[in-house]
Amino acid sequence: SSETKYDYIVVGGGTSGLVVANRLSEQENINVLVIEAGGSVYNNENVTDTLGYGKAFGTDIDWAYETIKQEYGGGISQTLRAGKALGGTSTINGMVYLRAQTAQIDAWETVGNEGWNWKNLFPYFRKGEQFQTPEKYSFLDGSGVAYDPAYHGFTGPLKVGWSSTQLNDGLAQELNTTYQNFEVPVPYNKDPNGGDMVGYSLYPKTVDSELNIREDAARAYYYPYQNRTNLHVWLRTHANKITWKDGEDAVADGVEVTLSNGTTTVVKATREVILAAGALKSPILLELSGVGNPDILAKYDIDTKINLPTVGENLQDQMNNGLQYDSKASYSKSADYVAYPSASQLFPNATAVGAQLLRKLPAYAAKVAAANGNITKASDIQRFFKIQWDLIFKAGIPVAEILLEPTGNTYDTEYWGSVPFSRGNVHLASADPTVAATIDPKYFMLDFDLHAQVQAARFIRELFQTKPFADMAGDETSPGLSVVAAGADDQGWSNFIKQNYRSNFHPISTAAMMPKEVGGVVDTSLKVYGTSNVRVVDASVLPFQVCGHLQSTIYAVAERAADIIKGKV
Ligand code: FAD
């Protein structure tokens, strides 16, 4: 009941929140409460089905956040999916388990976060993981999946591997030969989870190989531990804001929640409040609690507790497009075959592209700063952009992700530039916590982002024209050569891309971990600047986009955060 006090309150029982709650409740004398707006989806087939991607979209377990109309992105709004359930977005995501490139995590330290580098994060990737080796499963014979045991953990809570719905007809090998036949070959990468992602590979997923069901944060980090008497979960309970102790200092003492029966009450925390409500919600909860830009808070008559204007800024997402082709074979299983080209593999003239982009960075930074009223400073943004440029053109990170997914009689492809430069924001639109926020990712604000997207589309056309794969595929059915001509330039692709993209569902950085003086919201212990006991542990804190999909990195960050909170780091 609301009379009870907890040592820690974790707001959001999602991907990050359940990791933190699990690890903190390993300490028997510590009481942990998780507040989760959604319910249990343990037996929800839209969740468990390993071929069911998309089935949960638009159902009551999808927040389906809407962006405002995108000024640079075709004038249309986008729906940002996010899981509303115990397990959060890990219950509806694509299950891809793919980490970042070493240099990208090291860039977190470069930007001023001491101790946050690949070397220190890598043990936490492994700590969380329970890798299921493919040779144990005969249904994977011929599938082409491979791994390096040195990169994986085998005793963690989160099952990672491949399931019996994985295709095993030899297509993987044909594609490898095809990529080696490219004008600029894309090398084979046996295991992209060791910090070097560039090349062609088949990544593992968060699945239970034995049972052929999705593995999510609740199955990994909650259900096996639900009998712990010090681990409490309130489902269908909506957190409204943090409550503060009387006095000048910002000391959180609880969370105002609305229970499933509609009652609003305050639940007390004696040690800390940890926000893990996701990149589109945690900054809003900060604003509702008086932490943010005073000008924005004043509009809704919210008293400023902490003047921290960059809350909700720095929003980074990717844009996702697809091309479709007929296939000559028919598929009842599926698989994702991924290519991660570096700049020199994606751009025919990478040096010139890099030089041109470098010249544009000051103008890009000025444009981003002007768009948010100079809340983030052009000089800081320019420094971040140069770090990003170095990652692309010096460290050689993958600059795009190219997925091939056979389904039925079709080859679906998905593609995205992996590190867009555009920066947007998310802010509250009311003091009422049930009112939707204003989300503006500013897709395609900067022209390099379109160029990377176009070049990725061209790369896919090259794939379908290269043997032996070219002989296995039929016509391009979308967009088709009548819509986007062979050899079309950026302008020729622009309309198709901007009218048909979607969010890649990788929003991050809205409560970024960075030094305060360059616009950070949390410090290296993930504590919100100006508070003594409020942390953010979720996708909001990642300072830069990663090339792999987000969840593996988010799980690892949450594992490390738990050790920080326990005082072990
Ligand atoms: P979440 O997991 O979203 O957790 C936030 C939790 O907080 C949720 O449970 C939510 O209900 C709860 N909450 C929010 N507000 C409140 C409130 N006011 N009160 C109480 N509770 C609240 N990543 C990959 O690595 N691989 C993929 O294949 C992949 N595919 C994706 C596909 C889709 C459709 C989407 C949407 C994302 C995908 N991602 C993928 C991204 C990845 O799943 C997410 O980035 C990650 O799960 C986010 O974790 P989080 O802890 O930040 O937030």
Distance CA 488, CA 498 (A): 15
User: Integer distance in angstroms from the first to the last C-alpha of the chain?
Assistant: 34
Residue 155 CB contacts under 8 Å (≥ 6 apart), including other chains: 130
Distance CA 87, CA 47 (A): 10
Contact 160, 206 (CB under 8 A): yes
Distance 83 CA to ligand 1 centre (A): 5
Surface-to-core class of residue 359, CB atoms within 10 Å of its CB (0-12 exposed, 13-18 middle, 19+ buried): exposed
Distance 168 CA to ligand 1 centre (A): 30
Distance 14 CA to ligand 1 centre (A): 6
Surface-to-core class of residue 247, CB atoms within 10 Å of its CB (0-12 exposed, 13-18 middle, 19+ buried): exposed
Please tell me the predicted confidence (pLDDT) of residue 3. 54
Please tell me the predicted confidence (pLDDT) of residue 33. 98
Is the CB–ligand 1 distance for residue 281 below 6 Å? yes
Check if 427 is active-site.
no
Pocket test residue of 95, 551, 560 for ligand 1, highest count of atoms within 8 A of CB? 551
Distance CA 535, CA 109 (A): 19
Is the CB–ligand 1 distance for residue 278 below 6 Å? yes
Is the CB–ligand 1 distance for residue 286 below 6 Å? no
Please tell me the predicted confidence (pLDDT) of residue 248. 85
Q: What is the pTM of this model?
A: 0.98
Distance CA 546, CA 559 (A): 18
Please tell me the predicted confidence (pLDDT) of residue 4. 77
Pocket test residue of 9, 16, 47, 89 for ligand 1, highest count of atoms within 8 A of CB? 89
Distance CA 337, CA 262 (A): 47
Distance 479 CA to ligand 1 centre (A): 31
Please tell me the predicted confidence (pLDDT) of residue 2. 43
Check if 232 is active-site.
no
Distance 224 CA to ligand 1 centre (A): 21
Q: How many CA atoms lie within 13 A of 509 on its CB side?
A: 24
Is the CB–ligand 1 distance for residue 96 below 6 Å? yes
ipTM of this model?
A: 1.00
Tell whether omega for the bond before 479 is within 30 degrees of 0, i.e. cis: yes
Is the CB–ligand 1 distance for residue 233 below 6 Å? no
Residue 488 CB contacts under 8 Å (≥ 6 apart), including other chains: none
Q: Where are the beta strands (DSSP E) in 226-314?
A: 231-234, 238-244, 252-258, 264-275, 291-292, 306-307
Stretches where the chain sits below pLDDT 50 are 1-2
Among 537, 368, 398, 553, which Cα is nearest to 14's?
537
Tokens of 557: 């960050």
